[in-house]
Amino acid sequence: MAEATLRPVKGLAWECLCPNSTRVPSQKPREIAARILRQWEQEPITADALLSGALADVSGPDRGLCQELVLGVLRNKTWLDWLIDQKTNGRRQQPLPQILLRLGLYQIFLLGRIPDHAAVNEAVNLARRLDLGNQSGFINAVLRNCLREKDSWLEKLANLRKNQPAIGYSHPLWLVQRWRDRWPDYVSLLEWNNQPAPVYARRSTLLTTVEDLEAQWAQEGVSFDRFKLSWLKEGLMFKIKANGSIGDLPSFQEGKFYIQDPSTVASVQELNPLPGENILDLCAAPGGKTTAIAQRMQDNGSILAVDIDESRLGRLRENIERLRLRSIQPKALHQIDLKTAGPFDRIIIDAPCSNTGVMRRRVDVRWRLNTRELPVLARAQTALLNRAAPLLKPGGLLVYSTCSIEAEENEDVIAAFMRKHRGFKMESSRALTPMQDKTDGAFVARIRKTNPES
């Protein structure tokens, strides 16, 4: 293929994609996706946050397509860039043409439901709308050339997944090597991370029955299936799919369910809070575990829900109000003296972590994380445990959880804590992995305080 000359993008293109434009309902989904992907490259903002802001006024099929394009490109970024390099002899592209090529190639090779000719035409038309001039011809040539050789490139993708999984499954090489050394079936984890995550709902047992909720969902056009795991009660968790935004459903607005992955309920099961108890949730926002604790206690007792991030506490308060819970007191960490608020019957620490267990939900984690962060996170996690230890009543229970699958943040943190605090006894620990448990990765440890001096 003849070399195409790339030229600087004119002001209009960058103006359309500038970070200050947070809502663009007049734009088409591919244009919104391109803008989000460019902003994601420029700023340390999560893809979920960018999508939430950009799609606030977008609904229906356009919303779904935009989400699928952004998340799909990020999940497959390494392979898409490898393919672009193969077709352009490794020449570095300017950011916006590179993004449009990724979008077009993702639709051609991996999306499936978009006709190939439509994927090409839309990419070329978008390049023209963004005033990319002769770059639209270059994009057209690359996409049509790949389309003619589609079967060959799909075969090469299959070979990459077998022989170079870091490229074929679009994960950082250091992470692939790390998991390969730990798990023989690590490829299953890579495959899991690249699957779109289903939506799960936890039923509010305080506000509705299984039968009533299922009947209301049927009226609202929600498809659902009861979801079962060994630690879940029948009828508590559901896999659901709605035609529009879940937030617009009356059943959601009435507080009859909470969107939550099943793996996050495991720590609440281990905590096993009882009505009337005094509970501390030390890293509470946005409230999935906190509200599940209140529900399990029949909303009878006291839950001090603490978080360091005041903005995240806003989401917790919204969830408390929507679910109509009275036992939770949300507080910013700087607003309260934990020593006077205790002692507590039970403490749960859902510690900030690397999120390596939930990469299919947080698709950009793989590109933000590096090896240097793991020991930093482990020190912060150990500090949280040390801070919580004296706040627990003798005989009280401490539950530590993460959504990480890394030993440094899980078993190693607990081991360090137990070496320092002899007055605690490990009762159980459990590591969940997608390969074994068919749910997102998580870790939960249950520790009993046996010595009042600890």
Q: What is the end-to-end Cα distance of the chain in Å, rounded?
A: 71
DSSP line for 46-92? -HHHHHHHHTTT--HHHHHHHHHHHHHHHHTHHHHHHHHHHHTTTPP
d(CA 48, CA 90): 31
Amino acid letter for position 380 = A
Concerning whether 403 is annotated as a catalytic residue, the answer is: yes
DSSP three-state, residue 441 = coil
DSSP designation for 2: P
DSSP line for 132-145? -TTHHHHHHHHHHH
Residues 6+ apart with CB under 8 A from 66: 29, 30, 32, 33, 36, 51, 54, 55, 58
Catalytic pick among 16, 146, 283, 403: 403
Amino acid letter for position 248 = D
d(CA 390, CA 83): 55
Q: How buried is 44 (Cβ within 10 angstroms: 0-12 exposed, 13-18 middle, 19+ buried)? A: exposed
Which residues participate in catalysis according to the annotation?
A: 403
